[in-house]
Amino acid sequence: MCGIAGFWASRADLAVGERMASLIESRGPDDSGIWGDEQAGVVLAHRRLSIQDLSPAGHQPMGSPCGRYSLVYNGEIYNHLDLRKELEADDGGFDWRGHSDTETLLAALAHWGVRGALERVNGMFAFALWDKAERILFLARDRMGEKPLYYGRSGDAFLFGSELKALAAHPDWRNKIDRDALALYLRHNYVPAPWSIYQGIAKLKPAHFVVIHNGGLEFGEPQCYWDLGTVAEQGVANATGRADELVNELDGLLRDSIGRRMAADVPLGAFLSGGYDSTTVAALMQAQSEQPIQTFTIGFHEEGYNEAVHARAVAEHLGTDHTELYITYEQAMAVIPKLPAIYDEPFSDSSQIPTYLVSELASKQVTVSLSGDGGDELFYGYDRYFKAEQIWGKLTCLPLPLRKLAAVVLARAPGNGLESVMQLLPRKFQVNHLADRLPKLAEILGHQSGEALYREMVSHAKNPARLVLGATEPETILSCPDRLPSLPGLRERMMYLDMMTYLPDDILTKVDRASMAVSLEARVPLLDHRLVEFAWRVPFEYKYRDGQGKWLLRQVLYRYVPRELMDRPKMGFGVPIEQWLRGPLREWADELLDESRLRNEGFFDPEPICKMWREHVTGERRWHYYLWDILMFQAWLEANPKAH
């Protein structure tokens, strides 16, 4: 795993490239490299975390033997040995210098072209390829978005890099905040691709590449080389198979995917929460290892946030070399000041804190750790999927005008007063947090489609443009159902939407930044594109069955871990932000949410934010998710005082 950066400007200043790479040293502390094409003004910079072929033969930037191509690359190509055989069969003249996947990728790009190589590669990656003969720069990103890549023009230069901090080291950097992107952030708790927090800088979308030419002045629309919409449509249309056959096929695919991701010349382990996904990964790793694999988990002392006891039971059954660490709230809160630098742009999924802590724990013993992310999106595992489908089924029984009238009544209902009255009733009839629940129910009742309902359920701020001064919220795939592929029902469309948005822009961003901040490579075997394609052609009855999601994945896991160890209520990987904001974080939040401060900074309308803060502190309403979005932006802004 590595970090890349570079630019195309009037002059190939290598010292600038070195500064850009130095700011992402944690992504690659083992080696650094710089290369420039003086005539063109192109500079490629690299930081290396050595995983495969630790020798100088894996050094980057890497040039092709013919001298035409130069490559900087971040990631892992898991089928690179297969690609070498295919290349040798096509053209036996290869004289390999080492056994790094970088060399394989470069040879594939030179031999098959960018699109041809991308269609053959199985891996996680972001790369920049310079074609000296044609004076063209190519940028590309992996299918599911495991590795990041920012790019765009700033001043008189075209810039790119793994993280925004690398781009900010260039003298032509402009740091003007995109208020429209800020509105999107308040809705989603992340800035979705292709936007970034800065004007003129984009995130390359997963499964795309972009071609830059004419001195970095021209670049067209990114081109898609693997269309998830087509994969979903074709998979659902051809969904078939018996349960036993599908279980065997999934077992084989998982073994192969996980086995490929166990290839490393450095120590390797796995995150283990005790849930189905991470346990599946750990179980199949251990089944293919002659020695106990290393597993890592963190626990919290707060009730309702601790899965460490379940992870320990799983580790004991599998016989792994297990390490666990119970975290105090002081240790967790000590991470908060680091978050702006780690995430580089506003990001407010509060599980960013435990993800960093478990990465830090693992990095003390291993250089690579496998993660179980992706199972919920592939196999219908999120509780919100069940809830959305149930709610929409009930809503469609009522005429829309009646639903809208009920929404008006519920929105005006005095939730706290009703809750006080309900305390007089027997406990089984009492409902807590009515002040939160009634407005949410009112919002849900007025929707005209299942997709609109789901957007409401996954949104934080419901109308973020009212909070961000001077902003117009851009349209996204979540707000435009007509952009969706032809899928049979709401459940399939929810999974597709999450694979396109929440998975790459939240989950995978969180894992990448947290792990790379401590120089740990995180690999995600459930997102092998062959598994994604398989999951879409699994009949839905084998994803959701007997009232449970991830049914097919569970059947594979039960071959390795007893059912009684696993069947328990799902628990999120989070921290008690709600309580912390009323307690140990209150002073910090008070300062960042000060009305005069908000007004002077000029990004937010202070009135609704201060109202939310007062209501949360007094316990009148629970606004912690909304407030954490604001607080993470405020903390990021404080760490980036030149942003405007």
Q: Is the peptide bond before 194 cis (omega within 30 degrees of 0)?
A: yes
CA atoms of 332 and 274, how far apart (whole Å): 20
63 is in an annotated binding site: no
What are the backbone angles phi and psi of residue 70, rounded to the nearest 5°?
-130, 140
R_g of the chain, CA atoms, integer Å:
25
Query: Sheet containing 294-300: which strands, arranged edge to edge?
Result: 321-327, 294-300, 268-271, 368-370, 521-523
**Alpha helices per DSSP H over 121-160:** none
Give the separation between CA 311 and CA 306, rounded to whole angstroms.
10
Give the contacts of 188 (CB within 8 A, at least 6 positions apart): 458, 459, 460, 501, 502, 505, 506
With tokens 């050094």, the residue in question is 59
Please give the DSSP secondary-structure letter assigned to residue 429: G
Q: Which helix (H) or strand (E) holds 463?
A: none
Q: Does 298 appear as a known binding residue?
A: yes
Greatest CA span in the chain, whole angstroms? 84
Q: Around Cβ 303, how many Cβ atoms within 10 Å?
A: 7
In DSSP terms, which residues pair with 297 in a beta bridge?
324
Q: Are 208 and 194 in contact (CB under 8 A)?
A: no
d(CA 309, CA 314): 9
Number of residues written out for the chain? 644
User: Catalytic residue numbers?
Assistant: 2
Question: Using CA atoms, how far apart are residues 627 and 26, in angstroms rounded to an integer?
Answer: 30
User: What's the angle, vertex CA 586, arms to CA 582 and CA 588, rounded to 5?
Assistant: 155
Q: What is the C-alpha separation between 72 and 61, in angstroms, rounded?
A: 5
Do the annotations mark residue 371 as ligand-binding?
A: yes
The per-residue b/e assignment along 514-532, b for 16 or more CB within 10 angstroms, e otherwise, is bbbbbbbbbbbbbbbbebb
Closest by CA to 36, choosing from 1, 65, 72, 3, is 72
Copy the structure tokens of residue 227.
């269309």
**77 marked among binding-site residues:** no
Give strand pairing partners of 81.
none
